[in-house]
Amino acid sequence: MFGKIEHLGIAVKDLEQSNTLFTKLLGRPPYKQEAVESEHVITSFFLSGENKIELLQATSPESAIAKYIEKKGEGIHHIAFDVSDIYAEIERLKAEGFHLINETPKSGADNKLIAFLHPKGTNGVLIELCMEKP
């Protein structure tokens, strides 16, 4: 089942600069910074009330974030939804005709299993499914 929005992902060019900016904006520093080697990104996470914001900076031109920024510039990159069973949701969404970028969940930042839906099938919005690792 889909739950709350787990976080919003924002693509940034310079994580250090954006950390300073979002610290000023939200009035508190990021609670976590983490490299995700498989995705060639470094991320930082902020809390605003119960809501999470993930900033992502590419560490290689191969990174999806680097390609996104090249095409569209900085900005909101994805919306992540909390799901109770990522395996069941992948099967359900496939059956509904959605195009999954990841048919098998992979390890993401912040101790999550994640999978992305292709934005072509979701009104141009990249959707991330997110489940706390068991």
Instruction: Output 93 or 108, the one with its CB closest to Zn ion.
Output: 108
Beta strands in 1-134 (DSSP E): 2-11, 32-36, 41-48, 51-58, 75-83, 106-107, 112-117, 127-132
What does the block give as tokens for 33?
């910074």
Using CB under 5 A as the binding rule, the residues of this chain from 114 to 133 that contact Zn ion are 128
Q: Does 80 bind Zn ion (CB under 5 A)?
A: yes
Q: What number of other Cβ atoms are within 10 A of residue 40's Cβ?
A: 17
What does the block give as tokens for 52?
């999470």
Q: Does 53 bind Zn ion (CB under 5 A)?
A: no
Instruction: Output 77 or 93, the one with its CB closest to Zn ion.
Output: 77
Instruction: Output 54 or 89, the one with its CB closest to Zn ion.
Output: 54
Number of residues that bind Zn ion (CB under 5 A): 4
What does the block give as tokens for 84?
């109770």
- Minimal distance, residue 54 CB to Zn ion, in Å: 5
Provide the binding-site residues for Zn ion, judged by CB under 5 A.
9, 54, 80, 128
